[in-house]
Amino acid sequence: MALVVPLNLLVFAGLILALVQVRKLSFTLSQQILAGLIAGVAFGFVLQVVYAGNPAAIDETLVWTNVVASTYIKLLQMVIMPLVLVMMISAVVRMREVAALGRIGGVVIGILVGTTMIAALVGITMANLFNLTAEGLTEGARELARASALESRLETVESLGLADMLVRFIPSNIFYDLTGARPTSIIAVVIFGVLFGVAALQVGRENAERGDSIGRFVETVQVIIMKLVRIIMAFTPYGILALMTKVVAGSNIADILNLLTFVVASYAAIAIMFSVHALLLLLNGVNIRRYLQNVWPVLTFAFTSRSSAATIPLNVETQIDKLGVPTSIANLAATFGATIGQNGCAGIYPAMLATMVAPTMGINTLDPSFIAGLVGIVAISSFGVAGVGGGATFAALIVLPAMGMPIALVALLISIEPLIDMGRTALNVNGSMTAGVLTSRLLKDLPQDDAAAVSESA
């Protein structure tokens, strides 16, 4: 044991050095991320095969490779709240008019929630098409322990009505929310940033000189924050390598095979929703091929990190620099999309679970009243879903009890949760970028010279 772990880490270090060489060869960030993804999958698979009878060797190796993964994620988490706050203030100050803020925010939220309702319908359809049911699933010791933990967490969630959840969006202590201590902290910071920006606008109207100073200050802080983001993003290929190593080497292949049908159905639903996004973009004149080329690095990072919130910096930068979305719209779409209307975590997943549980309770899953009720509850619960790994569990804990259903199925799927959550997170992030581009088109705020980046001439 003492020898194999250093040997594994030596190979891991060699892969990092190889990625450094790829960067020196002036490969694009997208190509570097792809290289890290492939290397991580390959290394994780080799660990699975070589140490199939020695899981302790894998665990000890992952302890050290996770140092790279955890460090990268923590760096991203470090910059999320300052980025959200500054971007929201900047978005309001740039717009000059509060009415424009309400109009843009309304369209962005409408698109996010609307596509989440479509995602719920897709999840219901896939669960019925694949004949998924909660009957016959075996509860092992790990799943039972998870169920016990979820039951205690459910007590907190059940005590919150819709009115209580809406109140939780409002920050009572902005410094507390800047720590990300609550699932709704990002929305709270967004609200504070908007209010702060509105106050700055009013000060600028009362005193033009101060208004100019505020604008210059906000712009300078934004430039500094974005420079910090770019510094952190330079480490993305190495973070992806470590994250994929953990996902592949740490997965239980037997559990995945036992629940393979649910995995396939989930990814089929995810693929359909990606197609829905593409159709919406296509109908609004967007070149889908160019769009996918531009968002590929963002989706890759979202897939491996399983965190919509951690993807916000790259999301905003890509919308502005690659998709030509105005800064104010990109800021709102990326930050709202991390907690509101997540197509994968808040749409597909809880809808599929409810459809699986329904037959065990004698409910016809094709009954229009069941479908309408489930889609409505999904739409409401999609507000404030945490933008980090586990947000889908939070959504399921709201939807299932609201439908009068037990939450045991959430615990039974714990073994394959990381595998599916990767695809769901990528879909969430793509939904937020789609909302940004569509809002630009619908409000005609996309400059003509930027529009060429994502559109084909008529």
Q: How many residues does the chain have?
A: 458
431 within some domain: yes
Which pLDDT value is given to residue 225? 84
Q: What is the pTM of this model?
A: 0.70
Which pLDDT value is given to residue 453? 42
- Identity of the amino acid at 138: T
183 within some domain: yes
* Nearest Cα to Cα of residue 195 among 117, 91, 281, 307: 91
* Nearest Cα to Cα of residue 124 among 353, 436, 383: 353
Can you give the CATH number for the domain in which 120 is found? Answer: 1.10.3860.10
Partners of residue 383 on adjacent β-strands: 340
Which pLDDT value is given to residue 431? 95
In eight-state DSSP terms, residue 373 is H
124 within some domain: yes
Report how many domains make up the chain. 1
Query: Which residues in the chain come in under a pLDDT of 50?
Result: 138-145, 147, 150, 153-157, 387-389, 445-458
Which pLDDT value is given to residue 319? 92
Rounded CA-CA distance 77/50 in Å is: 34
Which pLDDT value is given to residue 420? 86
Rounded CA-CA distance 175/223 in Å is: 22
How wide is the angle at C-alpha 360 spanned by C-alphas 354 and 365, nearest 5°? 50
458 within some domain: no
| Residue 447 main-chain phi, psi, to 5 deg | -60, 150
139 within some domain: yes
The pair of three-digit structure tokens given for residue 309, joined into one six-digit string: 């919130």
| Residue 340 main-chain phi, psi, to 5 deg | -120, 135
Count of helices and strands (H, E) across the chain: 21, 0
456 within some domain: no
Given a contact cutoff of 8 angstroms between Cβ atoms, the answer to whether 116 and 379 are in contact is: yes
Domain housing 166: 4-451
